[in-house]
Structure 1
Amino acid sequence: MIIRPVAMSDLAELKTIAAESGPGFTSLVNDHDFLVQKIERSIASFADANGQQAAGSYLFVLVEPNTGSIMGTTGIEASVGTRRPLYHYRVGHATRQSPTLGLSRHQQTLTLCNHYKGGSEICTLYLRPQYRRAWAGKLLSRVRFLFMAQHPERFANTVIAEMRGVSDPSGESPFWRWLQTHFVDLDFATVSQMVGTGDNGFIADLMPEHPLYTSLMDEPARAVIGKVHPDTRPALHMLESEGFRFNGFIDPFDGGPTIEAPVQTLRSVRQSSHCRARIGPDRTPSKAPWTNGGQGKTLMVANTSLADFRATITTAARYLPAHQLLEIPESLANSLGLDIDSMGGADVWFADLEAAGQNQNRAMATSRQSDPIKEAFRAH
């Protein structure tokens, strides 16, 4: 599996992915002109040596090397909420009381806002069902952090992730269904298409400016506030293990949570390393413990190129910390397109996926005992 920047030759497969991902996946909508523009903008961002943060849009594809098929997508928007508003509902509470009567009522509220202005966003993560295999999803998710570690000047200090909210088998959102009934007479698929292509002016025009009392919503809508789509739960747990947290903002269309973190505190950013690689012959990885200098650890490895960025996962590598040197086989060096110098070496970035995976397992175990999003709702 190889991660690389999207190319215009990927348009047909990207349209297929946009169609099969369904309503709610607003960062990759099934619209020909939109997809062409998205690819063009990504190509320009990867080609921009100066790295203008406000203009950066980076779309990666995961490629099956034997067939060349696109297995999935993942992306980063360098700056959101500035060129056009990024709307959310802020989850809050209001208390009304009468001292005279000794009565009070505590209510949960949703207030429309444009809180995130200028932060970076990870987005467009989709792994096609037929390619859901070991490490594929982790590579799609974590490669973004390795890229951000390489190019911190291109991104904001804070990164957010809008998690896909709950929808029924027909693709309809219970949260939006209530809003549609009372405020905006557009179905969820139409709204998703409009928002995904940048047409979100109707939000300010039609959606209520005053706080919504969730007690007035029907039970299906109220039940999905801050919840994620079942297919999104693994991604949520993975991001929580990286250090993302919910701070009280939800999507105004499906009610899914938006989570955030300082970039430099992300686990995969902190644990990534920039070092020299020594290229050697291909061989079967040994099973010796990593601490004894053996091979077999699952590493995410990337070259240091921008326009020709490549990343993959491998167990056929060995890190020598005393020498700050990563030994990799020739076939891996070729697949990453490493720029090998006259000394037979090259610069690489890498991160240990297994260490992150262990932390993710702990995060998942903790979340079964105490849901961090539920805890955040109590705090708000």
Structure 2
Amino acid sequence: MRGLAMIIRPIQHNDLQALHEIARESGPGFTSLVDDRDYLEKKVRHAIDSFQRELHRPGDEHYLFVLEDEATGDIMGTTGIEASAGDDRPLCHFRREAEPASRSGSERLTRCTHYTGCTEICSLYLRPRYRRANAGKLLSKVRFLFMAQNPHRFSATIIAEMRGVSDASGQSPFWNWLKTRSGHLDFATVTRLAGTATPEMLDALLPAEPLSTATMPTEAIRAIGQVHEQTRPALKMLEAEGFRHRGFVDLFDAGPTVEAKLNEITSSRHSTRCRVQIIDDSMPAITRNHPGNRDNVMLIANTAVSDFRATVTTAAAWLPHHNLLSVPESLARQLGLSDGGMTCFLPLATTGKAEANAHTNSSEVLYAH
């Protein structure tokens, strides 16, 4: 059996350097991973502590995963979950509303904390040199398997803040307009502050009164609710999962926030929890040569928390009549699975047309806030 090409696991202390490189590579607008080593070191410590906690309900936990190349040990990307966003520091957005008595169709943007206490998926980034088949799917979907197995750790409502429009030089058309009312800070500085500054500082930075689009230039208006060109694949994946935009946008780049109910997310509903049957690597699974199982791509995860592991593979076979997933010994060892123990898997080869279309261009970078 071929070895694992890539594996998802909780972040560790020795991943800090790679995380710092990702924060630099991702550039302005990636507010959940700012280019500040001390900030990132605290984030890693907090993530490790979060995975180790025994919980009955969500709190300030932050679960940060890394995607590791099994052959080289390189960190290919990251993905994360904020268990209860906005509890330790306000989670603010602009709410889009029709301007009262407007004849021009202009809108009003009002600051609010609508999503306080919701679970936020975040920090999704696939490094450009590690683009390959199923890497983006693994980074995105693994969070839903982890949440499906541990629903008590998360809110019933899941949100994702999508990176808004900015150009190659880091200029945001929305912020270029808003900064004239907010201290004239450049976009890179303000997005760095979004991740590191105190709530009081951010509150003083932004205007308190509602903003009217009637005074905005066309470029800024067009950016409201739109995503960065390299974030489109990530948004398409979430839309295929059932996420929808309800009119809330980011304070700095006006990128959309999308939401879904945990128990309605496609990957959560279609995942299967079952027992493991471990077989010898040289022995084909009972139904391996059956057309329904041949080259069937699956996302497989163990059921641990601090020792969580997941990957994408074609080496396992689902035996529905026995409620067993047949797994080669070497794959089981790498995922920490035991014979007769539990696993969770999600078929990827049977995704619907909308989701398949989201992955037609595998060369694109995937990232969101």
TM-score calculated relative to the size of structure 2: 0.91
Which of 341, 348, 352 is equivalent to 1:346? 341
Counterpart in the other structure of 2:62: 57
* Cα distance in 1 for residues equivalent to 2:197 and 2:164: 19
Q: Which residue of 1 aligns with 2:96?
A: 91
8 Å CA contact 2:66, 2:76 repeated in 1:
yes
Aligned position for 1:225? 224
Q: Give the equivalent residue in structure 1 for 2:138.
A: 139
Does residue 360 of structure 2 align to residue 355 of structure 1? no
Q: Secondary structure at the match of 2:341?
A: strand
- Cα 1:250–1:321 shift into 2, 3 Å: same
Inter-CA distance 232–297: structure 2 relative to 1 (3 Å threshold): same
> Once the 2 structures are TM-superposed, how far is the Cα of residue 288 of structure 1 from its aligned partner?
3.6
- Per-residue CA deviations over 1:83-112 (Å, capped at 9, x if unaligned) read 211111111102327xxxxxx554311111
Per the TM alignment, residue 354 of structure 1 is displaced from its structure 2 partner at its CA by 2.2
1:16-61 superposed Cα distances (whole Å, 9 cap, x missing partner): 1110110100101111111111110110011112255112110000
Q: Is the 8 A contact 1:175 1:225 kept in 2?
A: yes
- After TM superposition, the structure 1 = structure 2 runs for residues 33-72 of structure 1, keeping only pairs within 5 Å, are 33-50=38-55, 52-72=57-77
Aligned length: 352
Moved more, 167-176 or 243-252: 167-176
Per-residue CA shift, 1:115-139, capped at 9, x if unaligned?
A: 1110000000000001011000000
- Corresponding residue for 2:366? none
Counterpart-to-counterpart distance in 1, 2:10 and 2:137: 17
Structure 1 residue 357: Cα displacement: 5.3
Aligned to 1:9: 14
How big is the shift at 1:268? 0.6
Distance 2:151 2:193 in 1: 31
Q: Give the Cα separation in 1 of the matches to 2:59 and 2:228.
A: 30
Higher Cα radius of gyration: 1
Q: 1:212 to 1:163 in 2, by over 3 A?
A: same
Q: Secondary structure at the match of 1:270?
A: helix
User: CA RMSD, aligned part only?
Assistant: 1.8
Mapping for residues 165-180 of structure 1, pairs under 5 Å = 165-180=164-179
The one-letter amino acid paired with 2:318 is Y
Which aligned pairs between 1:234-245 and structure 2 lie closer than 5 A?
A: 234-245=233-244
- Larger relative contact order (C-alpha < 8 A, sep ≥ 6)? 2
Q: Are the equivalent residues in 2 in contact too, given 1:45–1:51 (CA < 8 A)?
A: no
List per-residue Cα deviations over 1:134-191 (Å, max 9, x = no partner).
Answer: 0000000000000000100000000000000011110121111111123332111111
Contact 2:181–2:207 at 8 Å: present in 1 too?
no
Partner of 1:322: 321
Matched residue SS, 2:311: strand
Task: Note if contact 2:158-2:262 (Cα within 8 Å) is conserved in structure 1.
Answer: yes
2:291 alignment partner in structure 1: 289
**Structure 1 counterpart of 2:124:** 125
User: C-alpha displacement at 1:114, in angstroms?
Assistant: 1.2
Which of 23, 28, 31 matches 1:26? Answer: 31
CA distance in 1, matches of 2:341, 2:197: 41
- Aligned pair partner of 1:74 in 73, 76, 79: 79
| Residues 233, 358 of structure 2: 8 Å contact kept | no
Aligned residue type for 1:208: P
2:234 partner amino acid: A
The alpha-carbon distance between structure 1 residues 188 and 16, as it changes in their structure 2 partners (threshold 3 A), is: same
DSSP 3-state at the match of 2:345: strand
* TM-aligned CA distance change 1:3 to 1:357, over 3 Å: farther
Q: Which letter does structure 2 place at the counterpart of 1:185?
A: H
Corresponding letter in the other structure for 1:264: N
One-letter amino acid of the structure 1 residue matched with residue 89 of structure 2: R
Q: Using structure 1 for the length normalisation, give the TM-score.
A: 0.89
Work out whether residues 11 and 47 of structure 2, in 8 Å CA contact, stay in contact via their aligned partners in 1: yes
- 1:334 match: secondary structure: helix
Q: What amino acid is the match of 1:21?
A: S
- Matched residues in 2 for 1:198 and 1:306: separation? 31
Cα offset for 1:258? 0.3
Retained in 2: the 8 A contact 1:296–1:317?
A: no
Match of 1:282, as an amino acid? D
Percent identity reads 52
**Is the CA contact (8 Å cut-off) linking 1:175 and 1:254 kept in structure 2?**
yes
Indicate how the Cα distance of structure 1 residues 232 and 312 shifts in structure 2: closer, same or farther if over 3 A, else same: same
Other-structure match for 1:377? none
Change (3 A) 1:122 1:278: same
Contact 1:73 1:126 in 2 (8 A): yes
AA at the equivalent of 2:72 = T
Secondary structure of 1:89's aligned partner: strand
* AA in 2 matched with 1:58: Y
CA deviation after TM superposition for structure 1 residue 201, in Å: 2.6
Q: 3-state SS of the aligned residue for 2:351?
A: helix
Instruction: Tell whether the 8 Å contact from 1:95 to 1:105 is kept in structure 2 after alignment.
Output: no
Contact 1:96 1:106 (C-alpha < 8 Å) held by counterparts: no
1:288–1:296: 8 Å Cα contact kept in structure 2? no
Structure 1 residue 214: Cα displacement: 0.7
Unpaired runs of 5+ in structure 2? 1-5, 361-369
